[in-house]
Structure 1
Amino acid sequence: MYILYSILAGLAVVPLLLYISNPYFLQDLRYSIICLLVGIRFGKYSKSKPLYSIVDNFLDKVKKHPDKPFIVFENTLYTYRETDIQSNKVARALSQHADIKAGDSVALFLGNEPLYVWIWLALTKLGCTAALLNCNIRSKSLLHCFSCSDAKVIIVASELQGAVEEVLPVLQEQGVRVFILSEACDTPGMESLLGRIREASDQPLSPQLRANITIKSPAVYIYTSGTTGLPKAALINHERVWMASFMQNLSGVRSDDVLYLYLPLYHSSGFLMGLTAAIERGITVVLRRKFSASQFWDDCRKYNVTVIQYIGEIMRYLCNTPKRDNDRKHRVRLAIGNGIRADTWTDFLERFGDIRVIECYGATEGNVGFINYIGKVGALGKENFLHKAACKYALIKYDTEREEPVRDSSGFCVRVPKGETGLLLGKIGKRAPFSGYAKNTQQTEKKKLKDVFVKGDMYFNSGDLLKIDHEGFVFFQDRIGDTFRWKGENVATTEVADHLLMVDCIEEANVYGVKVPGHEGRIGMAALKLKEDMEFDSGATYKHVKAYLPSYARPRFIRLQNAFEVTGTFKQMKVRLAEEGFNPDSTQDRLFYLEESQGYVPMTLDIYRSITDGKIRL
């Protein structure tokens, strides 16, 4: 009996010892079990022949609950069955009039609306690949992104017709068919599509149309900015779609939840973590054209929203709205996203109530990610023993001045110890592949780091500097390279500089991001060298950037310099310029500020103080 009591006493102490050694043991265990169950499902889907894709999952949801609301948009409700019917009509219209077939790529150039979902579902039912074009891009960028996908058809929102007309001659030379989502179109080279959709049959399409699609086949192209100056088309295959679609499952989203989706559907956050993940859960999506801070919570209350998505800036915008008596009167219980600062996180919870925030990390094309399933404020994720076993990653020492990893005497990279900042790498392999960028071998290879720890190994270079503390929590530190992030968008400095050089008075342009107090990320600034005997033409510069660059990429500050400082290899120096920022007291150079209603105006100390004090909102 004494031995039995001793054993029972010992067993009773085990939980205490586990808690002392790891206070997050139970949460780690729970998350690991969820991951195992998801892994079993994914293994089943990936091995099925023919492929069981996300569209097959959608069709199963149609059978399971046909009358359940799927999309709510501007006070109009579409059930799962109605969405299925509309996508059938789109598929048949495209098959008949656009002559597309399995394996073809079709570009989508429109903003958030139900038609976006119907068209994507239609293309997937036909076995086609959708290229999700950013509806803010224009001219050279638009043509580049379109050509990356090898699409011969582009479907365009009526309000974006003018943007496509600018490049229509080039599209016509390439034999591209342009369909406008309108009832009629008088422009030669463009065809209206809405009438054809309305007249098409709504009968289900045969699964045989996509019978040859595999788990490795391209599903969508999602575009990501880089340091090349033009967006890159990340090839997202059906495997990646499934992996991203489990994000809501891992975050605790239930089948009775209602998701508020305002993030653009051309982004991986809106499309994969939002739309396809909602299909996997079988939930209702409240779709909005774009974000509105003033209407956000009213919408959440009106539509009984329980799950929201965010990027860091969004949470700050919400916290900056005037306080109201009903700030905590809502049903939102879960917020999923990335990029929220620790101070904003705390302010958000204090003001809007007990909402579980699931911060996560990952890149559209990347092969490694993290989820902060614990909810520790400020962390973007947490290491987990199961995750570490399934996904090989490392933080290595990085020389920010030389812009290259530090290697030891044997030529291998050096791991950083716990608590120190390092460059995140993800090992490329069968479990964590890297598909790269469409028609861009150079940039694909550039993201690969070889001979990292042993001869012949290969890792994906995330470009992000992270830190992992002794409890396994992961924290974002900085991003290397020429790309900076503003308002949730990656801005490629080379692309912005190329556009500035088109302005007649500008000889050289050095673009970089500068920090602004109270704002996440960095806002665009450009140091300019003018052509000899020419003055800065603020009007022409403003007119050009407004016409050719989306708002988030337009340099908000201009600095005029007589000469540029360069490295020994003639690379433009950015670090000192970024540190000096836009403070008129930090330089004798002339500075200009982009006032949206007036264009570029001389920068003054009053403007600078108003920005840093938060009186002027950027």
Structure 2
Amino acid sequence: MLGICRFINKAKQSSCSENLLYFGVLLRILLKYVASRRRRPPFFALDRFLEQTAALPDKPFIVFGEETYTYADTDKKSNKIANALQSQPGYEAGVTAALFMGNEPSFLFTWLALAKLGSPVALLNYNIRSKSLLHCFNCCKAKVLIAAAELKEAVEDVLPSLLEQGVTVLLLAKCCDTPGIESFSDKVEEASDAPLPRSLRSHVTLKSPAVYIYTSGTTGLPKAALVNQNRFVSALAVTSSYGVTSKDIMYVNLPLYHTAGFLVGFLGCIQIGSTIVLKRKFSASQFWDDCRKYNVTVVQYIGEVMRYLCCTPKRDNDRDHKVRLAIGNGVRAEVWREFLNRFGNIKVLEFYASTEGNVGFLNYAGKIGAVGRVHFLHQKLFPYILVKYDTERDEPMRDANGLCIEASKGETGLLVSKITDIAPFVGYAQNEEQTEKKKLRNVLKKGDLYFNTGDLMKIDKDNFIYFQDRIGDTFRWKGENVATTEVSDILSMSDCLQEANVYGVHVPKHEGRVGMAAATVKKDAQFDGSKLYEHVVSYLPSYARPRFIRLQSAVEVTATFKQMKVKLVEQGFDPEHIQEPLYILDDCVRSYVPLTAEIYISILSGSIKL
């Protein structure tokens, strides 16, 4: 108690009232987290859902188009799925299962069912196919795959490998004629909706895996970030501080397989007892009409969402809605201002976090462009620092003693956060190499251990912290992180390309950076646009497929054999200034075709959308 009083006295000495406000927010989060940790038997996200169901059985929980499911409906639906699962050969309570489906109520019902059975769940990106799909499935050692009916063909592509491993494959359809894939919806309809005994999940602890969420890093195929039950408990504590109430209606159109849609949207609504309006995918043209139709009061965003909304044609009813709060991350300052000017007095709650990371920020002061503000209590609980970073050598700068050098105020530095009991880094499933790469040792003293966020940040004179850029080989397109080395590896597996240097280039009137590759052709081979197209489509989701290919006689590298990207990024994809052959991905003809001056002009004018 004396320690808390000292913190309060320190905070009072600050002239900034926001610091006192944030102190209260942090204290509430901490107390809620500790209270949840101390509950016996152990208290998990599922238990919070069951509490809400008991308290609010008839309250709408999920609204999906014209369908509405109350908390009690959702509970019974998940019970039916759980009871049907128990009767399936190859499944037993506690084994890991993978969900392969888009945003729909069944996704949420099925996750709750698996939670009731004590099963960890891998949330597969429904855009992935072929080798990438198999890789992601194998990462978490799942024994069961539950897929949406519309993804049947994607499952069939990897079915031989799944059957070879003895995987139980269930399709959310009433019938299925593919040997090895069992229809599941018909079994669910016939199953009992009786509650599941708690004993089925008695083995679950705070350290048990809850979900696997896939993230693209700087190398390799997608990595399965292990999110344990303790992380869920802390997420529930944090989301309770966002200002959302049980009276709110939240619009969730971000993918449920991502952290934002699942943890902030789904689990956030469970924590508060609010209603989810679930959308299959984001639509800028339908966004505000949906908000008006369903009386939405809270929306989620990523930076691209804000910009897409601002790019829609202006309407007289742009401010005719009930949205009061927007929660998300990645919005640029100019887009933030434009959004407020156009759509009205909406509180924008920008935050910074990552799926596997151990540090986060909340822009409680509402400073446009910032992701948060440095606060002594925050830094006490989650020690972090910005260190100087050498972008040429792609590594932190170190002094004569081999320790990292702290970045000065106003200077861009790499954000690293100390790995502690209260701020752990669990790592990636079946990928010790990538887990180790995210650890940074000997930061402030010999032997210490920090998590490397991979993000460059800057702190201004008023202690506001700003995101600057990602380090290494990752860029963002269509709301997804694209790992350039992963794409490069895939391109090099093709019949015609020997080596590929993948990077992102800016395209006017488009958010993020679109993929481009400077590549060399294999000896005695010829560039084949059609074959390369088929190869890329087989291995990469649409957002990761390079839109432009630039053929070179050799890929330029640094003295340490790292591919050079800066000059290539600056040169872009203008055929007037690049003498080497340029190609563009054309879905209509299913090939990479020559990029002409006419096509280039059409892209710049917006006639051709990428």
Class of the TM-score when normalised by the shorter of the 2 chains = over 0.9
Given the alignment, which residue of 602, 606, 617 partners 2:609? 617
1:456-495 aligned within 5 A = 456-495=447-486
Shift of 1:534: 4.0
**Aligned residue for 1:124?**
115
Distance in structure 2 (CA, Å) of the matches to 1:474 and 1:586? 38
Q: Distance in 2 between matches of 1:40 and 1:63?
A: 24
* Farther-moved stretch of structure 1 (495-504 vs 43-52): 495-504
CA distance in 1, matches of 2:320, 2:607: 29
Q: In terms of mean alpha carbon deviation, does 95-104 or 54-63 score higher?
A: 95-104
Matched, 1:148 2:139: yes
Distance 2:509 2:391 in 1: 25
Alignment of 1:305 with 2:286, yes or no, is: no
Task: Please tell me whether residue 554 in structure 1 is matched to residue 582 in structure 2.
Answer: no
Structure-2 separation of matches of 1:192 and 1:122: 17
- C-alpha separation between the residues in 1 aligned to 2:141 and 2:596? 48
- Which amino acid counterpart does residue 105 of structure 2 have in structure 1? P
Does 2:169 match 1:178?
yes
Which residue, 152, 157, 182 being the options, matches 1:191? 182
Flag as ranges the 4+ runs of structure 1 deviating above 3 A.
98-103, 517-520, 532-535, 604-617
Q: Which residue of 1 aligns with 2:204?
A: 213
How many residue pairs get aligned? The number is 600
In 2, Cα distance between equivalents of 1:591 and 1:316: 29
Range 579-588 or range 465-474, more displaced: 579-588
Q: Residues of 2 paired with 1:167 and 1:617: CA distance?
A: 32
CA distance in structure 2 between the partners assigned to 1:246 and 1:608 by the alignment: 49
Cα distance change on mapping 1:347 and 1:617 into 2, 3 Å: farther
**1:434 correspondence with 2:434:** no
Confirm or deny: 8 A CA contact 1:31 1:250 kept in the other structure. Answer: no
After TM superposition, give the deviation of residue 593 of structure 1 in Å. 2.3
Q: Deviations over 1:425-461 (max 9, x none)?
A: 0100011000000111111011000111111110000
Match of 1:451 in 2: 442
Paired position in structure 1 for 2:250: 259
Deviation at 1:190, TM superposition (A): 1.1
* Aligned CA-pair RMSD: 1.8
Alignment of 1:25-36 (within 5 A): 25-36=16-27
Q: State the TM-score, normalizing by the size of structure 2.
A: 0.95
Mapped to 1, the partners of 2:604 and 2:466 lie a distance apart of: 26
Deviations 1:317-366 (A, max 9, x none): 11111111111100001111111111111111111111111111111000
Q: Measure how far apart 1:177 and its partner are.
A: 0.8
* Aligned with 1:521 (options 474, 497, 512): 512
Match of 1:5 in 2: none
Please identify, of 89-98 and 286-295, the stretch whose mean Cα deviation from structure 2 is larger: 89-98
Aligned to 1:356: 347
Corresponding residue number in structure 1 for 2:595: 603
**Offset of 1:614 from its aligned partner?**
4.2
Task: Report the Cα distance in structure 2 between the residues aligned to 1:84 and 1:162, rounded to whole angstroms.
Answer: 31
Q: What pairs with 1:239-254 in structure 2 (closer than 5 Å)? A: 239-254=230-245
Deviations 1:566-612 (A, max 9, x none): 22333322222112111224322121223433443322344334434
Between the aligned partners of 1:458 and 1:144, the Cα distance in structure 2 is: 30
CA distance in 1 between counterparts of 2:601 and 2:370 reads 31
Residue aligning to 1:379:
370
C-alpha contact 1:50 1:214 (8 A) present in aligned 2: no
- Please give the alpha-carbon distance, in whole angstroms, between the structure 1 residues aligned to 2:493 and 2:400: 46
* Structure 1 residues not aligned, in runs of 5+: 1-14
Equivalent in the alignment of 2:358: 367
Map of 1:9 onto structure 2: none
Range that drifts further, 486-495 or 25-34: 25-34
2:315 to 301, 324, 339: 324
Q: Out of 28, 33, 47, which is 1:37 matched to?
A: 28
Cα 1:278–1:579 shift into 2, 3 Å: same
1:272-421 alignment, distance < 5 Å:
272-421=263-412
CA distance in 2, matches of 1:167, 1:614: 38
Q: Distance in 1 between matches of 2:89 and 2:481?
A: 34
Q: Secondary structure at the match of 1:223?
A: strand
Determine helix, strand or coil for the equivalent of 1:171.
helix
Q: How far is the alpha carbon of 1:244 from its aligned partner? A: 2.2
1:437 maps to amino acid? Y
Distance 1:155 1:98, change over 3 A: farther
Q: Does structure 2 conserve the Cα–Cα contact (< 8 Å) formed by 1:88 and 1:204?
A: yes
Counterpart residue identity of residue 48, structure 2: N
**Following the alignment from structure 1 to structure 2, what is the Cα–Cα distance between the partners of residues 590 and 99?**
53
Q: Distance in 2 between matches of 1:64 and 1:493?
A: 48
Q: Equivalents in 1 of 2:379, 2:46: separation in Å?
A: 31
Shift of 1:139: 1.2
CA contact (8 A) 1:341 1:520 kept: no
Compare 491-500 and 480-489 and name the one that shifted more: 491-500
Amino acid at match of 1:160: L
Residue 45 (structure 1) shift: 1.1
C-alpha distance in structure 1 between counterparts of 2:186 and 2:154, whole Å: 22
Deviation at 1:305, TM superposition (A): 0.3
C-alpha separation between the residues in 2 aligned to 1:179 and 1:193?
6
1:382, distance to aligned residue in structure 2 (A)? 1.7
Match for residue 85 of structure 2?
Answer: 94
**Counterpart in 2 of 1:590?**
581
Q: Tell me the distance in 2 between the aligned counterparts of 1:534 and 1:326.
A: 58
* Contact residue 134 and residue 266 of structure 1 kept, 8 A: yes
**For residues 73-118 of structure 1, what are the alpha-carbon distances to aligned partners after superposition, in whole Å with 9 as ceiling and x for unaligned?**
1111000000000101111111121453443100111111111101
Query: Contact 1:98–1:153 (CA<8 Å) still a contact in 2?
Result: no
3-state SS in 2 of match to 1:82: helix
Match of 1:61 in 2: 52
Q: 1:565 aligns with which of 538, 553, 556?
A: 556
- Offset of residue 533 of structure 1: 4.9
Quote the offset at 1:381 in angstroms.
1.6
Match of 2:532 among 529, 536, 541: 541
Cα distance in 2 between the residues matched to 1:188 and 1:512:
42
Q: 1:158 aligns with which of 149, 152, 159?
A: 149
User: How far apart, CA to CA, are the structure 2 residues paired with 1:253 and 1:474?
Assistant: 24
Contact 2:12 2:20 in 1 (8 A): no
Query: Given the superposition, is the C-alpha separation of residues 87 and 98 from structure 1 closer, same or farther in structure 2, using an over 3 Å criterion?
Result: farther
Task: Write the distance in 2 (CA, Å) between the matches of 1:612 and 1:345.
Answer: 24
1:343 and 1:415 map into 2 onto residues whose CA distance is 30
Q: Quick check: 1:246–1:277 contact (8 Å CA) kept in 2?
A: no
2:124 aligns with 133
Q: How many Å separate the matches in 2 of 1:348 and 1:616?
A: 25
- For each residue in 1:524-555, what CA deviation from the matched residue of structure 2 results, as whole angstroms up to 9, or x when unmatched? 00111113454422222223323332111111
TM-score scaled by structure 1? 0.94
- Could you tell me which amino acid in structure 2 is paired with residue 280 of structure 1? Q
> Structure 1, residues 392-433: CA drift from partner, whole Å, max 9, x if none?
000000101111110001110000011100000010001100
Q: How much does 1:476 deviate?
A: 1.1
CA contact (8 A) 2:130 2:538 kept: no
For residues 37 and 12 of structure 2, the distance between their equivalents in structure 1, rounded to whole angstroms, comes to 36
Quick one: distance in 1 between partners of 2:40 and 2:290?
Answer: 42
In 1, distance between residues paired with 2:544 and 2:47?
38
1:51: Cα distance to partner?
1.2
Task: Give me the whole-angstrom Cα distance separating, in 2, the residues matched to 1:385 and 1:408.
Answer: 26
CA distance in 2, matches of 1:609, 1:385: 52
